[in-house]
Amino acid sequence: MAKFDLTSKMGQYLDRHLVFPLLEFLSAKGIYNETELLKAKLDILSKTNMIDYAIDIRKQLYPDEEIPDDLKQRRNHVVSQLQELQQEVEPILTVITDEEVMKNMESMRDSKTLINFLSKDYKFEIEMIDSLHKLAKYRYECGNYSVSTSYLYFCLLVLPPNDKNYLSVLWGKFASEILYQNWDSALEDLNKLREYIDSNPNQFSGNSLHLLQQRTWLIHWSLFVFFNHAMGRELIIEMFLYKPHYLNAIQTMCPHILRYLATAVIINRGRRSALKDLVKVIQQESYTYRDPITEFLEHLYVNFDFDGARQKLHECQTVLLNDFFLISCLDEFVENARLMIFETFCRIHQCISISMLAEKLNMNPDEAECWIVNLIRNARLDAKIDSKLGHVVMGAQPLSPYQQLIEKIDSLSVRSETLCGLIDRKLRAKTDTRWVNQDF
């Protein structure tokens, strides 16, 4: 199972805090050794301020040992620091809690007027924003994601986009929203962040490597949103497959993301057109990354090897079952993959025996027949069942040459007409009226 686990690959592009859900998931699945996972967790925690949590894990790991003093000391230190920071930004905190003012603020889009307004009425100084930023970071480190979200929101309102902290505020906000599981605003932040990265490539001072890194992070972080938000499946294809910058980043830095992209395309019935593009990318990257899901697509759409596809589909299920992001769409995936196999099958075949089909789809024959009947009834398939022989016979639909011809010349007259009309209009606009009556 561990063979197809991507956590270690993903981990390097995620924030410490974002790795926790993944580790929790893994320990629930029990693929890895429990103590090793705990150790990993502890390791990650050591750089954060979530001391209590660290103490808990320590207890789990070494039930006999005492909690070391430095942890306790650090805890006190963290608390005192927090208070200190809190005092520094007291005025802002009062503003934030005041709903009336917040509403006012939101209506002001320009950060300059906003700052003026704040400094006039609420003893606000621009230096405070720095402290607030620090405080938000501190809160985030302590695991208070919701508080940190609101702080960062304030920061975003006040800071002009060219501020040096703006990017880190954006990232921080995005991470907190994800961890707070507030997917709507997370998606909003994702878009904001992406726009910011794409529109200001110069801020990385022409360092394309840096830019690439930012994009790679964004790709990984966005997985949380895409597989939890209702719109995510649509958007993931849009972003990963049809934004050259991001496809490029995937191909160069993290081809393992192809798994998620492939899954998203498969479960998205409306986007069959994307398959073609995806298969091309998969083929191109087949030497750097392959897993059952990409191989499934390859078998089905490159080699037309239905047996291979069936086998891979079987493997896919276990992969999905053990993937943090994909586990929720397992059923959908299986259903759609079956449909894909069947569709392709029907396109090629004229007559299929149900038993063979059932075997290819990992179903029993009765179930398969039922499934096909449903498909036919929903008018998604032009076919008939020969129940005596147990065959499905496709409705023949070869395009006759006559039809082809009609199709080809169908639009011609309309196009010519519009062309004529356009020229006519142009001429009339350009020349005197005497030209109007004249033919040309």
Instruction: Please give the residue ranges that form the binding site for other proteins (CB under 8 A).
Output: 242, 244, 247-248, 251-252, 272-273, 276-277, 280, 284, 287-288, 303-305, 307, 344, 347-353, 356, 389, 391, 394, 396, 398-402, 404-405, 408-409, 412, 415-416, 418-419, 422-423, 426
Our CB check for other proteins shows the closer of 85 and 212 to be 212
Closest by CA to 267, choosing from 336, 180, 354, 190, is 336
Q: Minimum distance from CB of 187 to other proteins (Å)?
A: 24
Q: Minimum distance from CB of 57 to other proteins (Å)?
A: 40
Give the pair of three-digit tokens for residue 169. 């505020």
CA separation for the pair 379, 390 (Å, rounded): 20
Closest by CA to 426, choosing from 413, 414, 418, is 418
CA separation for the pair 356, 157 (Å, rounded): 62
Our CB check for other proteins shows the closer of 34 and 307 to be 307
User: What contacts 373, CB < 8 A, 6 or more positions away?
Assistant: 385
Q: Minimum distance from CB of 305 to other proteins (Å)?
A: 6
CA separation for the pair 80, 86 (Å, rounded): 10
CA separation for the pair 135, 82 (Å, rounded): 7
Q: Minimum distance from CB of 241 to other proteins (Å)?
A: 9
Our CB check for other proteins shows the closer of 106 and 407 to be 407
Our CB check for other proteins shows the closer of 168 and 344 to be 344
Place of tokens 């409306």: 270
Closest by CA to 22, choosing from 42, 41, 4, 35, is 41
Instruction: Determine which helix (DSSP H) or strand (DSSP E) holds 392, and give its type and residue range.
Output: strand 391-394
Give the three-class secondary structure for 85: helix
Q: Minimum distance from CB of 348 to other proteins (Å)?
A: 5
Our CB check for other proteins shows the closer of 169 and 392 to be 392
Our CB check for other proteins shows the closer of 120 and 347 to be 347
Q: Minimum distance from CB of 345 to other proteins (Å)?
A: 9
Our CB check for other proteins shows the closer of 97 and 416 to be 416
Instruction: Determine which helix (DSSP H) or strand (DSSP E) holds 242, and give its type and residue range.
Output: helix 232-242
User: What contacts 316, CB < 8 A, 6 or more positions away?
Assistant: 292, 293, 296, 333, 334, 337
Neighbours of 21 (CB within 10 A): 16
Triad 225, 226, 228: Cα angle to 5° = 65
User: What contacts 247, CB < 8 A, 6 or more positions away?
Assistant: 240, 241, 281
Q: Minimum distance from CB of 220 to other proteins (Å)?
A: 21
**The amino acid at 201:** P
Our CB check for other proteins shows the closer of 133 and 338 to be 338
**365, 355 contact by CB (below 8 A):** yes
Q: Minimum distance from CB of 286 to other proteins (Å)?
A: 8
Question: First vs last Cα of the chain: how many Å apart?
Answer: 76
Phi, psi (degrees; rounded to nearest 5) at 399: -80, 120
Our CB check for other proteins shows the closer of 126 and 351 to be 351
Our CB check for other proteins shows the closer of 288 and 374 to be 288
Triad 55, 57, 62: Cα angle to 5° = 95
Q: Minimum distance from CB of 215 to other proteins (Å)?
A: 15
Q: Minimum distance from CB of 300 to other proteins (Å)?
A: 10
Q: Minimum distance from CB of 338 to other proteins (Å)?
A: 17
Our CB check for other proteins shows the closer of 302 and 321 to be 302
